Amino acid sequence: MNQRLASLHPNPGWSADDAPKPNPTSAITDAVGKHCILELYNCDPSRLDDEAFLRETITTAAKRAGATLLNLITHRFEPQGVTGLALLAESHISIHTWPESGYAAVDVFTCGDHTMPELACQVLVEGLAAADHKLTSFRRETPGSIAGSEREPLLAAC
């Protein structure tokens, strides 16, 4: 069965009128972190299907980003594909692979000034031997209504 990438990743169905809109009464101040969305194309299919390799690569990506890995769970599907989720003290890294299409969808979110999620993305691009990729990153901003307040726990990494 030959599937196109578009059929694997459908639009969530929002029209321009239905899409979430920012709350104009909530001023945005400083950023709490950075969120990277990484699309990997024409990857090595054997690497996309190798759960142990992906665990090692995700661990390396977290370290390279300067993040603290708290837990890593993965699952290999039959006949192919792996999903992984790395719980970080600073947030998370997730990956979903489609070896039959040479595609992987990655999400890296880290908070705090000491982390560099783009470096985690670089590890994944190189590790999965992606011939092409698209990286979109943006700052996750703190709403003004909570920017000045103390947030629990006081010693959190974020």
Catalytic residue among 35, 91, 101, 121: 91
Nearest to 144, CA basis, from 31, 67, 36, 68: 31
Catalytic residue among 36, 111, 121, 133: 111
Nearest to 44, CA basis, from 134, 106, 130: 130
Nearest to 128, CA basis, from 60, 76, 57: 57
Catalytic residue among 96, 101, 121, 133: 96
What are the residues whose beta carbons fall under 8 Å from the beta carbon of 30, sequence distance 6 or more? 141, 142, 147
Nearest to 99, CA basis, from 25, 149, 47: 47
Q: Is residue 91 annotated as a catalytic residue, yes or no? A: yes
Q: Is residue 96 annotated as a catalytic residue, yes or no? A: yes
Nearest to 157, CA basis, from 60, 106, 87: 87
User: Catalytic residue numbers?
Assistant: 91, 96, 111
